[in-house]
Amino acid sequence: MGAIGKFLGRTHGKRGPDWADYVTYLYLILGTVLMFGPVMWLVTSSFKQQSDLLRFPPRLLPYRQEMVEVSGYDEPLPLYVVVFEDGTTRELARVRRVGIEGHHVDPANPEEIIKVNINQTTPVEQVVFSFDNYIRGIERFNFLRYFVNTVTVTAVATALTLLVNSMAAFALSKYQFRGRNSIFVLMISTLLVPLSVILIPLLLTIRSVGWFDSLIGVIIPSIATPTGVFLLRQYMLTIPDELLESARLDGASEWRIYLQVILPLARPALAVLAIFSVMWRWNDFLWPLIVLQSSEYKTLQVGLSSFSGELQTQWDTLLAMTVLTLLPVTVVFAFLQKYITTGIATTGMK
Amino acid sequence: MAEGGGIRGEYRVRRTLGDVVFNSVVDFFDGLFRPIQALIGSKRMPYVFVLPNLLVFVIFILIPMILNFSYAFTGGQQFFLADRTPVGGDNFAHLFDCGNFLDPNTCREDTFWIAMFNTVWFVVLQVGALVVVSLGTALVLNQKVKARAFFRSVFFYPVLLSPVVVALIWRWILQNDGLLNALIVAFGGERLPFLVSVGWTRFWVVFISVWSQMGFYTLILLAGLQSIPTELYEASSIDGANRWQAFRRITLPLLMPTMLVVLVLSVIRAVQSFDIVYAFSNGGPGTATTFMVQYIFNTAFMPPNQYGLAAAASLVLASILLILTLIQLRVGRQSELA
């Protein structure tokens, strides 16, 4: 305790820890439990067997009962520790259960049946992280198809977002042309028109161009994000115009200037937008839910939601699929958290 | 370019496979766009650059915005506008046909008003809790804490989880045989009907959306806190101000612009809450957690597909959002002047 006190105390120099330090760290530790705990619980649960999932109260870690092969029996038998009246204990395999009585055999001597009250027995278990739920889920849930669809949407939409938004940002930051300000204001003002208020007419547009129930119908409406244009434009404004001028003197076309001068210099801003676009598209729900109808085109989020809405929630596979769905985002976050957090703090976009 | 960016990097000779590919792409597009530039002149090239973005905006935002009115003033279950019959303001009359506007049961379209009232309490509770919790966390993280970057990431992590994942995580914890009930029983309590009772479902919908969003606002507030010059605090402590006085007189006023941003963003998002709630409770039990967007979604995309009614409700929602934005812009300007 003294060491911890000294450790905490360092924040306030020689005065030693005061109450505010204790409150601070208590808050942070409770916060960590509350933020990470639910996800950890999901992950450990996803490795549990069906019988373990139904257990109340649940146990922290996934357990599996030990099974033994006993000669004379086709199936492996579950192993129990049996406590006899005289206090001796033996490990026996259970053949069957009749009411409150268990019929057991000694694996070493399978001829003799030992009948014991089940209250005297406890299962022999060990912690096993079983991937059964994952395997069953991937087979039953069509995970790979949803996964491929989601990756396609995310990758294509992000690539197009970067291209289209950086082109517009380039024009809006590096040229004087008629209508520039009106175009910029028009783009920014669409921030006021969220998807949720144009659902029906947007669906009409998509159906009219024949993109209903297809991945492209999910991708295209999402690629022109006002926040993206804004972020890139602000960044490109800091690139000196002299660079463009000297490139022009060298005979570069405007398009070459965009690709070879502007884009490489705007890489930090492009990286931030790329990370955000990946997160947005991976987690998108409302629009894919409306556009994607047939099972072969569903994304992970839509598939997961319809799977969980089925009459009997099959938690064993559902938990495993949820873990697989959050895994890519978690990995991206683990590696790029610095960019993500500073990106948000400086641009305020989500 | 990774090393520091800057102009000098441009002249460094470095040819990796990526460079070769990139250069050939540049050459390809250059060949494509050079004739265009020759045709229209370099002065008009910016129009070419904004064109793709503008097209997407016009086709997928601007035109739908206008078409929304056509839906709102037509009736029937037909989806395509050509098949729909004009009904004038009937959809709006239907929505606003109320005996007493404070009692949804007296309204013809009672679910609309239930959704409206649900949205009101949800926005008030959720935004209130969100601002308090985010501010508290930002203040804690703004102190000299060990491993601040780690804790900042901890609070931010749920922001990145998808709404469906968040809803499933919490449904698993809150179900009848779930972890939370196990803890309650372990401490001698009775199981609680978290996912069944109206009150508890409402509570958890607010809780979960705060849980999943607070990290985002914490980050913004933390950035605001860190932009306050530390000299101010040093000066105030020399003048004998205690912590509370420093918070009240320095932190709060200087954080006001950031707080306003947080308020604008969180209110606008809360009014549009849909996906977490859809995956968590699907608006239930009954209509206990049916909010505006869910009402629009259900009315349009569930039988009997009342597109006109849903579009009219969308316009009501859009006007609410517009009014909120204008109010907040006005408030923002006043707080800047003050």
Task: With a cut of 70, say whether residue A212 has pLDDT above it.
Answer: yes
The pLDDT of residue A316 is: 87
Strands (E), chain A: 63-65, 67-68, 77-83, 89-98, 101-106, 109-117, 121-123, 125-127
Task: With a cut of 60, say whether residue B62 has pLDDT above it.
Answer: yes
Contact B275, B164 (CB under 8 A): yes
Residues of B in contact with A196 (CB under 8 A): 272, 274, 293, 296, 314, 317
Q: Which domain holds residue B241?
A: 109-302
Nearest to A253 among B5, B34, B56 (CB): B34
Say if B20 is an interface residue toward chain A (CB within 8 Å).
Answer: no
Contact assignment for B279 to A35 by CB distance below 8 Å = no
Q: Which domain holds residue A6?
A: 2-46
Residue B256 lies in a domain: yes
Mutate to test the interface with A, among B25, B36, B53 (most CBs of A within 10 A): B53
pLDDT tens per residue, range A297-306: 999 999 999 8
Q: Say if residue B35 is in the same domain as residue B158.
A: no
Pick from A330, A343, A331: nearest CA to A268: A343
pLDDT tens per residue, range A227-285: 889 889 988 999 999 999 999 998 888 888 998 899 999 988 898 899 889 988 999 99
Q: Say if residue A272 is in the same domain as residue A317.
A: yes
Q: Say if residue B18 is in the same domain as residue B128.
A: no
Nearest to A193 among B47, B65, B172 (CB): B65
Contact assignment for A337 to B325 by CB distance below 8 Å = no
pLDDT tens per residue, range A132-191: 889 988 888 888 999 999 999 999 999 999 999 999 999 999 999 998 999 988 888 877
184-203 of A, contacting B, C-beta below 8 A: 186-187, 190, 192-194, 196-203
Nearest to B64 among A163, A174, A198 (CB): A198
Which of A102, A127, A152 terminates a domain? The answer is: A127
The pLDDT of residue B143 is: 84
Pick from B89, B88, B125, B94: nearest CA to B112: B94
pLDDT tens per residue, range A304-344: 998 887 656 788 889 999 999 999 889 988 888 777 777 77
Contact assignment for A56 to B186 by CB distance below 8 Å = no
Nearest to B168 among A28, A36, A308 (CB): A308
Mutate to test the interface with B, among A255, A278, A280, A286 (most CBs of B within 10 A): A255
Q: Which residue has the tokens 């683990």?
A: A334
- Omega of the bond leading into A201 within 30 degrees of 0 (cis): no
CATH of the domain at A120: 2.30.30
Residue B217 lies in a domain: yes
The pLDDT of residue B336 is: 56
Q: Tell me which of A272 and B205 has the higher pLDDT.
A: B205
pLDDT tens per residue, range B72-119: 999 888 889 888 988 988 999 989 988 888 888 888 888 999 999 999
Q: Say if residue B190 is in the same domain as residue B277.
A: yes
Residue B334 lies in a domain: no
CB atoms closer than 10 angstroms to residue A51: 11
Residue A227 lies in a domain: yes
Q: Across-strand partners of A117?
A: A101
Q: Say if residue A206 is in the same domain as residue A166.
A: yes
Nearest to A224 among B56, B211, B317 (CB): B56
Q: Say if residue B15 is in the same domain as residue B152.
A: no
Q: Say if residue B254 is in the same domain as residue B137.
A: yes
pLDDT tens per residue, range B211-259: 999 999 998 899 889 888 888 888 888 888 888 888 888 888 999 888 8
Q: Say if residue A196 is in the same domain as residue A170.
A: yes
Q: Say if residue A290 is in the same domain as residue A235.
A: yes
pLDDT tens per residue, range A37-81: 999 999 999 999 888 888 888 888 888 888 888 888 888 888 888
175-194 of B, contacting A, C-beta below 8 A: 177-179, 181-182, 185-186
Residue A57 lies in a domain: no
Task: With a cut of 50, say whether residue A223 has pLDDT above it.
Answer: yes
Nearest to A283 among B162, B243, B321 (CB): B162
Q: Say if residue B17 is in the same domain as residue B161.
A: no
Region B167-191 average pLDDT: 92
Q: What angle do CA A282, A284, A288 make, to 5 degrees?
A: 115
104-163 of A, contacting B, C-beta below 8 A: 163
The pLDDT of residue B8 is: 47
Q: Tell me which of A32 and A192 has the higher pLDDT.
A: A32
> Which tokens sit at A20?
């505010």
Q: Say if residue A228 is in the same domain as residue A330.
A: yes
Mutate to test the interface with A, among B135, B165, B265 (most CBs of A within 10 A): B165
Say if B64 is an interface residue toward chain A (CB within 8 Å).
Answer: yes
Can you tell me the distance from the alpha carbon of B89 to that of B282, in angstroms, rounded to the nearest whole number?
30
Residue A324 lies in a domain: yes
263-322 of A, contacting B, C-beta below 8 A: 264-265, 267-268, 279, 282-283, 285-286, 290, 301, 304-305, 308-309, 315, 318-319, 322
Residue A98 lies in a domain: yes
The pLDDT of residue A127 is: 84
Residue B324 Cα, gap to closest chain A Cα (Å): 10
User: Which SS3 state, helix, strand or coil, does residue A310 take?
Assistant: coil
Task: Classify each residue of B196-210 as buried b or exposed e, where b means 16 or more C-beta atoms within 10 Å of its C-beta.
Answer: eeeebbbebbbbbbb
Q: Say if residue A238 is in the same domain as residue A167.
A: yes
Which of A127, A145, A179 terminates a domain? The answer is: A127
Contact assignment for A200 to B152 by CB distance below 8 Å = no
Contact assignment for A286 to B37 by CB distance below 8 Å = no
Can you tell me the distance from the alpha carbon of B223 to that of A345, in angstroms, rounded to the nearest whole number?
6
Q: Say if residue B134 is in the same domain as residue B257.
A: yes
DSSP string of B206-262, one letter each residue: HHHHHHHHHHHHHHHHHHHHHTS-HHHHHHHHHTT--HHHHIIIIIHHHHHHHHHHH
Residue B89 lies in a domain: no
The pLDDT of residue B221 is: 92
Pick from B274, B110, B112, B280: nearest CA to B200: B280
User: Which SS3 state, helix, strand or coil, does residue B145 take?
Assistant: coil
User: What's the number of domains chain A is made of?
Assistant: 3
Q: Does the CA dihedral B297-B299-B302-B308 come out positive or negative?
A: negative
Residues of B in contact with A244 (CB under 8 A): none
Q: Say if residue A103 is in the same domain as residue A153.
A: no
Say if A216 is an interface residue toward chain B (CB within 8 Å).
Answer: no
- Omega of the bond leading into A268 within 30 degrees of 0 (cis): no
Pick from A99, A90, A151: nearest CA to A121: A90
Contact assignment for B79 to A170 by CB distance below 8 Å = no
Position B22: which residue type? F
Say if B138 is an interface residue toward chain A (CB within 8 Å).
Answer: no
Can you tell me the distance from the alpha carbon of B275 to that of B69, in angstroms, rounded to the nearest whole number?
25
CATH of the domain at A301: 1.10.3720.10
Say if B40 is an interface residue toward chain A (CB within 8 Å).
Answer: no
Contact assignment for B57 to A27 by CB distance below 8 Å = no
Q: Say if residue A197 is in the same domain as residue A336.
A: yes
Q: What is the ipTM of this complex?
A: 0.85
Say if A238 is an interface residue toward chain B (CB within 8 Å).
Answer: no
Task: With a cut of 70, say whether residue A21 has pLDDT above it.
Answer: yes
Tally A–B CB contacts below 8 A.
Answer: 289
Residue B102 lies in a domain: no
Contact A261, A200 (CB under 8 A): no
The pLDDT of residue B13 is: 56
Contact assignment for B165 to A20 by CB distance below 8 Å = no
pLDDT tens per residue, range A82-133: 888 888 888 888 888 888 888 888 888 888 888 888 888 888 888 888 888 8
Contacts of A255 (CB under 8 A, 6+ apart): B29, B30, B32, B33, B34, B37, B45
CB atoms closer than 10 angstroms to residue B246: 17
Maximum CA pair distance of chain A?
Answer: 101
The pLDDT of residue A16 is: 59
Residue B99 lies in a domain: no
Percentage of chain B modeled with pLDDT above 90: 47
User: Which SS3 state, helix, strand or coil, does residue A68 take?
Assistant: strand
Residues of B in contact with A147 (CB under 8 A): none
Strands (E), chain B: 74-75, 85-86
Contact assignment for A197 to B68 by CB distance below 8 Å = yes
Contact assignment for A192 to B157 by CB distance below 8 Å = no
Q: Say if residue A200 is in the same domain as residue A341.
A: yes
Mutate to test the interface with A, among B1, B12, B48, B60 (most CBs of A within 10 A): B60
Q: Say if residue A233 is in the same domain as residue A273.
A: yes
Contact assignment for A330 to B160 by CB distance below 8 Å = yes
Residue A56 lies in a domain: no
Question: What is the Cβ-side half-sphere exposure of residue A282, based on CA atoms within 13 angstroms?
Answer: 23
Q: Say if residue A182 is in the same domain as residue A232.
A: yes
Average pLDDT, chain B: 87
User: What's the number of domains chain B is made of?
Assistant: 2
CATH of the domain at B233: 1.10.3720.10
Position A6: which residue type? K
The pLDDT of residue A10 is: 45
Q: Say if residue A98 is in the same domain as residue A192.
A: no
